[in-house]
Amino acid sequence: MGAAVGAALCVDFGSTFTKAVLVDLGEGRVVATADHPTTIGSDVLDGFDACRAELARQDPRAADAEVMACSSAGGGLRIAVVGNEELVTAEAGRRVALSSGGKVVAVIGVAGRSADDHPWTAELLAAEPDVVLLTGGTDGGNERVIVDAARALAGSGWTGPVVVAGNVAARDAVTPILVGHPHVLADNVVPRIGVLAPESARAAIREMFLAHVIGGKHLSARADFTEMVRGATPDVVLDGVELLARGDGPDRPGAGDVVVVDVGGATTDVHSVVELDPEDAGLSREVVATTPVTRTVEGDLGMRWSATTTYDEAVAAGLVAPDAGLEDAAARRLADPGLLPDGPEETAYDVAIATAAVRLGLRRHAGRSRVVLGPDGRVVERTGKDLRQVHLLVGSGGVLRAGDADTARSVLGSATGVDQDGWQLPEHPDVVVDTEYVLAAAGLLRTRHPDAAHRLVRRLTGVT
């Protein structure tokens, strides 16, 4: 059957739930939604089939609509980063991997290690990545480290895909070493000191995810699964966030600086698109430059699998007082990740955990400014990314979608305001909740249906 005219079905295969929305392409509007537990135990498309049947019940166009999907099922995209020093090129690679929608499972610095002794390869193999991001050296600088790392990688038993994003002068030497390995050459993520350039490597990682990772996870025996998936879910969501913030040309304006906080069961992800002030660059003490488009993942902050560490971190940060009731509630959620609140008390515990995750996640993403004494007297020192002038704060995740609007805005609003003890958090943002999975859908639609994608994200701001 041909695709239904005027409709597209956008799917997010999540680690826990598969979410599907039917979008009217002419209006740029979600007309039907459905979700189903992700069917990892059988075939991941079993849950999709259930979602599609429910969407078709709401709107018959779903039966024949064009399907586009993103996926974090089966552990998502696992990336190991290999670079010169952990605090410079490897750290730069880690940030690039996160912005590419990956879960970083290893960050390995190889500088100073013997060319004949590579114990780091055992660490890499033990991390079981899907993709290796090989970085190292500024353009035109020392080629030896990245060449030695490529040689060690080739002899380690690693057979998976490699994205090479280091010193471009080393390409001619690295390419023959990696013959027999799926690999792609990208631009250097650190072309010169103080510059982070993630775009080329991000595109290369997406290419490897689609070509080698999706099928390799054996999530479905049906060929249409690999055909429908366009990227890793966090990567696709970040595309949607970029569209929301920057728009797409003069006829599709953006909303300005945007931060999105996605509170999940295991992690709290923060995406931001913020125009950086060049005058502030010298105030940072970061070893790797901040970029306008950034994603951070906090693996110890979440509603279920990370509930106890969320509580512990919130107490340590002074955001909540020690509370036996909340501590026990967090332990129950860790023991039973499928727990659903069955009354006002359990709902209040969920809200308290979500509030802690949002506040901590945003603090870690934003960093802090403080006045210090230096050779020139009192100066401002900053770490992280300054979010104080952000125009729009968007909440995502089941706990925010399930709650009423006032509760969700209260959770998000807890991390805003001008008196934040030096934390560079949004001061006066508009606060909204992505209740219809619009950002993932817009990221999927952006290339093939740009008008519909733009209308979708504009609806988040109240503009239709």
CB atoms within 10 A of CB 154: 20
Q: Angle at the Cα of 392 (from 439 to 279), degrees rounded to 5?
A: 115
Q: Is 319 or 100 the better-scoring residue by pLDDT?
A: 319
Residue with tokens 């690295």: 174
List Cα–Cα distances, 406 to 115, 400, 432, in angstroms. 59, 10, 10
Binning the chain into helix, strand and coil, the percentages to the nearest 5 are: 40, 20, 40
**Confidence at residue 287, expressed as pLDDT on a 0 to 100 scale:** 47
DSSP category for residue 279: G
- Could you tell me which of 388, 442, 101, 8 has the C-alpha nearest to residue 242? 442
CB atoms within 10 A of CB 249: 10
- Could you tell me which of 354, 344, 340, 229 has the C-alpha nearest to residue 301? 354
**Is the pLDDT at 110 greater than 60, yes or no?**
yes
Q: Give the chain's domains with CATH numbers.
A: 7-74+221-248+439-460 (3.30.420.40), 76-215 (3.40.50.261), 258-436 (no CATH)
Q: How far apart are CA 283 and CA 311, in angstroms?
A: 32
Q: How far apart are CA 32 and CA 21, in angstroms?
A: 6
Please say whether the beta carbons of 109 and 83 come within 8 A.
yes
Give the residues across from 226 on adjacent strands. Answer: none
**Is the pLDDT at 283 greater than 50, yes or no?**
no
Q: What is the pTM of this model?
A: 0.85
Please say whether the beta carbons of 440 and 70 come within 8 A.
yes
Please say whether the beta carbons of 158 and 108 come within 8 A.
no
Q: What is the mean pLDDT of residues 273-282?
A: 67
Burial of 327 (0-12, 13-18, 19+ CB in 10 A): middle
User: What order do you get walking across the sheet with 392-396 strand by strand?
Assistant: 293-298, 268-273, 258-263, 392-396, 430-433
**Confidence at residue 299, expressed as pLDDT on a 0 to 100 scale:** 83
**Confidence at residue 66, expressed as pLDDT on a 0 to 100 scale:** 96
Q: Which residues contact 450 (CB under 8 A, 6 or more apart)?
A: 248, 252
List Cα–Cα distances, 91 to 87, 104, 427, 434, in angstroms. 5, 11, 29, 31
- Residue 58 C-alpha from the chain's centroid: 31
Strands 268-273 and 258-263: antiparallel
**Confidence at residue 191, expressed as pLDDT on a 0 to 100 scale:** 92
Instruction: Give per-residue pLDDT as tens, 120-146.
Output: 899 999 999 999 999 998 999 989 999
Q: What is the mean pLDDT of residues 365-374?
A: 70
**Confidence at residue 309, expressed as pLDDT on a 0 to 100 scale:** 95
Q: How far apart are CA 19 and CA 363, in angstroms?
A: 29
**Confidence at residue 1, expressed as pLDDT on a 0 to 100 scale:** 43
Tell me the average pLDDT of the chain.
89
Instruction: Give per-residue pLDDT as tens, 226-253.
Output: 999 999 998 999 999 999 999 998 999 9
Q: Looking at this protein, which amino acid is placed at residue 151?
A: R
> 455-459, long-range: CB within 8 Å, 24+ apart, which pairs?
455/27, 455/28, 455/29, 456/23, 456/28, 456/29, 456/30, 457/240, 457/243, 457/244, 457/255, 458/28, 458/255, 459/28, 459/29
Q: Is 150 or 384 the better-scoring residue by pLDDT?
A: 150
Q: What is the mean pLDDT of residues 203-216?
A: 91
